[in-house]
């Protein structure tokens, strides 16, 4: 059966001398894997459409086992992601997270839209670090993780100075700091951004300027939470951290 999907290439794997196996995250059907025969040949009609991060329409022959990519039409190559090594690193982390967090043929239009918006924002020169942190916070619900980000997770207070508690699964107010001696103290600006990233509509993103010290706070809190609860250990995360270290030295 031929199936036409709108999707983004989130993974490619070389197969033999001339073929590729592509994983496409689609709006209609979630993740679909397909063989792109001859795609490694420069004159192949599938060479461009099977590139990582390509956003397009794909015609796939489906059946038992692995499908076959018959043809594709590029909507956007998201070229900006491939022209800057830092953008590439962040985008690779995002698509690997989607790949590792989803099963084949489980539609999630919300996740597709979030994936496209995030990659497009990075491609268009928005701060890739901030876009990635927003994506990480919004991915928590996809992963079935629900930290308390509005009120104190212990007493329910909505006002006060807050920190972040891995043990208590969310924000903890100054009245309850003694409930978790190992809570992560954060600036109130970092707390506001974590809340914002978790709840707001990514499609309404405006200009966000974040100080380097606040970015470090955000990264520390998000990394700690993912390490504790997500079960995801991504190769691209290590590469991303190497790129961040390189950038800090430049």
Percent helix, strand, coil in the chain, to 5, is 40, 25, 35
* DSSP states of 206-219: ------HHHHHHHH
User: Does pLDDT of 110 surpass 70?
Assistant: yes
Please, is 234 exposed, middle or buried when counting C-beta atoms within 10 Å of its C-beta (0-12, 13-18, 19+)? Answer: middle
CATH 3.40.30.10 fits 2-144+230-249, yes or no: no
Distance from C-alpha of 103 to C-alpha of 90, rounded to nearest angstrom? 22
pLDDT tens, position by position, 144-201? 999 999 999 999 999 999 999 999 999 999 999 999 999 999 999 999 999 999 998 8
User: Does pLDDT of 247 surpass 80?
Assistant: no
Share of the chain above pLDDT 90, in %: 86
Q: What's the Cα-to-Cα distance from 139 to each of 67, 107, 147, 246, 250, rounded to whole Å?
A: 28, 15, 12, 27, 31
DSSP annotation of 177: G
Q: What's the Cα-to-Cα distance from 132 to each of 41, 69, 70, 117, 215, rounded to whole Å?
A: 33, 30, 32, 11, 11
Distance from C-alpha of 220 to C-alpha of 186, rounded to nearest angstrom? 10
What is the pLDDT averaged over residues 20-39? 96
User: Does pLDDT of 243 surpass 90?
Assistant: no
- Any idea where the domains of the chain sit in the sequence? 2-144+230-249, 146-229
Give Rg (Cα) of the chain: 20
Distance from C-alpha of 76 to C-alpha of 216, rounded to nearest angstrom? 32
What is the pLDDT averaged over residues 47-72? 93
pLDDT tens, position by position, 68-90? 999 999 999 999 999 999 999 99
Structure tokens at 109: 């239009």
């Amino acid at each position: 059966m031929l199936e036409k999907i709108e999707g983004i290439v989130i993974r490619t794997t070389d197969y033999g001398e001339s073929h590729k196996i592509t994983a496409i995250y689609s709006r209609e059907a979630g993740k679909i894997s397909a063989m792109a025969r001859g795609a490694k040949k420069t004159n192949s009609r599938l060479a461009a459409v099977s590139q990582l991060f390509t956003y397009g329409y794909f015609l796939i022959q489906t059946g038992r086992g692995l499908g076959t990519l018959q043809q594709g039409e590029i909507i956007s190559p998201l070229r900006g992601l491939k022209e800057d090594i830092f953008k590439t690193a962040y985008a690779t982390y995002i698509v690997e997270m989607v790949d590792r967090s989803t099963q084949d043929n489980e539609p999630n239009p919300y996740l597709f839209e979030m994936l496209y918006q995030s990659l497009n924002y990075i491609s268009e020169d928005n701060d890739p670090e901030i876009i990635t942190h927003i994506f990480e916070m919004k991915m928590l619900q996809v992963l079935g993780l629900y930290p308390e980000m509005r009120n104190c997770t212990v007493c329910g207070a909505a006002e006060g100075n807050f920190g972040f508690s891995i043990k208590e699964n969310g924000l903890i107010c100054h009245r309850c700091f003694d409930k978790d001696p190992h809570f992560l103290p954060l600036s109130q600006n970092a707390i506001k951004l974590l809340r914002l990233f978790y709840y707001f509509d990514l499609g309404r993103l405006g200009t966000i300027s974040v100080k380097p010290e606040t970015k470090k706070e955000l990264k520390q809190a998000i990394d700690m939470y993912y390490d504790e609860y997500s079960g995801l250990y991504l190769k691209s995360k290590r590469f991303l951290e190497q790129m961040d270290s390189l950038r800090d030295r430049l």
